[in-house]
Amino acid sequence: MTKTISLTLKIWRQNGPGEKGRLETYPADDISTDMSFLEMLDVINEKLTLSGQNPIAFDHDCREGICGMCGAVVNGRAHGPEKGTTLCQLHMRHFKDGDTIVIEPWRARTFPVIKDLVVDRGAFDTIIQAGGFISVNTGGTPDANAIPVAHQAAEKAMDAAACIGCGACVAACPNASAMLFLGAKISHLGLLPQGRPEAARRALNMLQAMDHLGFGNCTNERECEAECPKEISIVNIARLNREFFKAAFFSDQT
């Protein structure tokens, strides 16, 4: 038999950018513990709609933990209390009957609130546009596959490429730093031979874009690593720093 719980939700409501926000309280009764967190919000929104109230705006898409669209701060934790879990994959069985749950959007100047729990993460797109790609000609698929890639390098690159760009690292960091996101992007391209020709330019351009957008710097607090739903390691930040220092040194010599 499916277990149900009753909760008290304190949810951030904000009508739009620049508007004053506030926490509003909603009862959540008879919530199945088999539901995901977003399914629970769907139930609340259905009740709000039927009663003539505005539903809660929140980001979602695939609901499979792979698109990076969802995200909210749940009781002070980005994506909620479960390690290595996106908000859409967080299930209500991890909460207890009678719990009070506070749900807020990402808190960072670089992620302005659009409405309620929805934030504008376009700053990440700007960073990617600054150099998070490979433009050199590597030929067709067979040609690219013909380039030898060491197994260890391939594994590290794939680990870094697991980043879904959800922004939890920024929301968790006391400096609102995007260094873990940037480190993952620098690593997954720079570790592969196809990405090496543009490695120096990539590191300089993407870091410059990050600074220009107003993200903070890394002070090794490691909240980003702890809250990342894909468990990206801060080793990638160290690799980013090495790439940047090498690029900055050689650019100064020319």
Q: Which among 90, 115, 140 is the end of a domain?
A: 115
pLDDT single digits (tens) 46-98: 999 999 999 999 999 999 999 999 999 999 999 999 999 999 999 999 999 99
Confidence of residue 254 (pLDDT cuts 50, 70, 90): very low
Q: Verify that 93 and 137 share a domain, yes or no.
A: no
* Burial letters 201-235, b for 16+ CB under 10 A, else e: ebbbbbbebbeebebbebeeeebbbebbbbebbbe
Query: Rounded mean pLDDT of 94-121?
Result: 97
Q: Write the CB contacts of 51 (distance below 8 Å, at least 6 apart in sequence).
A: none
How many CB atoms are located within 10 Å of the residue 18 CB? Answer: 8
Q: What is the CATH number of the domain that holds 103?
A: 3.10.20.30
CA distance 185 to 161: 7
Same domain, 104 and 221: no
> What is the average per-residue pLDDT within 106-123?
97
Q: Is 235 in the same domain as 129?
A: yes
Position 1 confidence tier, pLDDT thresholds 50, 70, 90: low
Per-residue confidence at 252, pLDDT binned at 50, 70, 90?
low
End-of-domain residue from the set 93, 115, 137? 115
Enumerate helices (H) and strands (E) in the chain, giving the number of each.
9, 7
Can you say whether the dihedral through the CA atoms of 227, 128, 239, 216 is positive or negative? negative
Both tokens of residue 183?
């480190």
* Residue 14 burial (CB count, 10 A): 18
> How far is 143 from 145, CA to CA, in rounded Å?
5
Structure tokens at 151: 């197994």
Write out the residue range of the structural domain in which residue 191 sits. 121-253
**Last residue in a domain, options 75, 95, 115:** 115
Instruction: State how far Cα 254 lies from the chain centre.
Output: 37
127 and 247 fall within a common domain: yes
Please check whether residues 63 and 164 belong to one and the same domain: no
CATH number at residue 163: 1.10.1060.10
Q: pTM to 2 decimals?
A: 0.92
Domain count, the chain: 2
Q: Are residues 133 and 42 in the same domain?
A: no
> Can you tell me whether residue 35 is helix, strand or coil?
coil
pLDDT tens-place string over residues 118-175: 999 999 999 999 999 998 887 777 776 778 889 999 999 999 999 999 999 999 999 9
Q: Please indicate, yes or no, whether residues 63 and 128 belong to a single structural domain of this protein.
A: no
Identify whether residues 110 and 125 lie together within a single domain.
no
36 forms beta bridges with 91
From CA 142, how far away is CA 71, in angstroms rounded? 38
What tokens does 160 get? 């870094």
d(CA 180, CA 15): 31
Contact by Cβ (8 Å): 72, 14: no
Residue 45 scores a pLDDT above 70:
yes
Same domain, 42 and 125: no
pLDDT of residue 136: 80
Same domain, 22 and 91: yes
Residue 77 and residue 133 in one domain? no
Beta bridge partners of 104: 73
Residues 73 and 171 reside in one and the same domain: no
pLDDT at 144: 66
